């Protein structure tokens, strides 16, 4: 486990860019933290670290955005269960060629594979965040 502190959105993006270097094809990373913690900001940094040039937007309404098969960014906030995720085919990408980043993964807990990585972001103050990588 490692704990990092960031004092701005940009610093979180920089940190996530570095973090991306530790990721391999097939990795599933659970992004934890309350609303507005910075999960989507972190995903932006990971995408930059993977050399993705497309703009990363929150996939709230689409559940998942596919960035060229390289990165799959999920927002499971509106998903009711692991079965719902399976029925939508959202679990098909776990352990594949790309990297999966999942926000609100607790909503689809029973559909997650084993051996997921976890990044927890805690809001300390308006601009400060604690980022815990496990
Ligand atoms: N150090 C920081 N790191 C990341 N974001 C920060 C930081 N300081 C302030 N922010 C702000 O916090 C907000 C984080 O928003 P973001 O959409 O990433 O949250 P989220 O965790 O994805 O929320 P949701 O669960 O609603 O999807 C942004 O407005 C960002 O500018
Ligand atoms: Mg988000």
- Tens digit of each residue's pLDDT (9 = 90 or more) over 85-132: 999 999 999 999 999 999 999 999 999 999 999 999 999 999 999 999
Ligand nearest to the CA of 104: 1
C-alpha torsion angle, residues 117, 111, 74, 48 (rounded to 10): 30
Distance 79 CA to ligand 2 centre (A): 14
How many other CB atoms are there within 10 angstroms of residue 101's CB atom? 32
Distance 74 CA to ligand 2 centre (A): 9
> How is residue 111 written in tokens?
């559909």
Q: With respect to CATH, is domain 2-133 assigned 1.20.1740.10?
A: no
Kindly give the residue spans of alpha helices, DSSP state H, lying in the chain: 9-20, 39-49, 82-87
Distance 30 CA to ligand 1 centre (A): 16
Which residues' Cβ are closer than 6 Å to ligand 1? Answer: 6-9, 11-12, 33, 35-41, 58, 103, 127, 129
- Tell me the pLDDT tens digit for each residue of 39-86: 999 999 999 999 999 999 998 778 999 999 999 999 999 999 999 999
């Amino acid at each position: 486990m490692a704990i990092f502190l960031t004092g701005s959105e940009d610093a979180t993006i920089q940190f996530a860019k570095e973090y991306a270097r530790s990721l391999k094809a097939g990795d599933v990373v659970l992004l934890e933290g309350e609303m507005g913690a910075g999960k989507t900001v972190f995903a932006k940094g990971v995408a930059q670290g993977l050399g993705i040039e497309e703009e990363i937007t929150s996939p709230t309404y689409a559940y998942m955005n596919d960035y060229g098969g390289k990165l799959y960014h999920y927002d499971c906030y509106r998903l009711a269960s692991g079965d719902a995720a399976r029925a939508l085919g959202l679990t098909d990408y776990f352990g594949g060629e790309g990297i999966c980043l999942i926000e609100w993964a607790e909503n689809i807990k029973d559909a997650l594979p084993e051996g997921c990585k976890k990044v927890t972001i805690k809001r300390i103050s308006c601009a400060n965040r604690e980022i815990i990588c496990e």
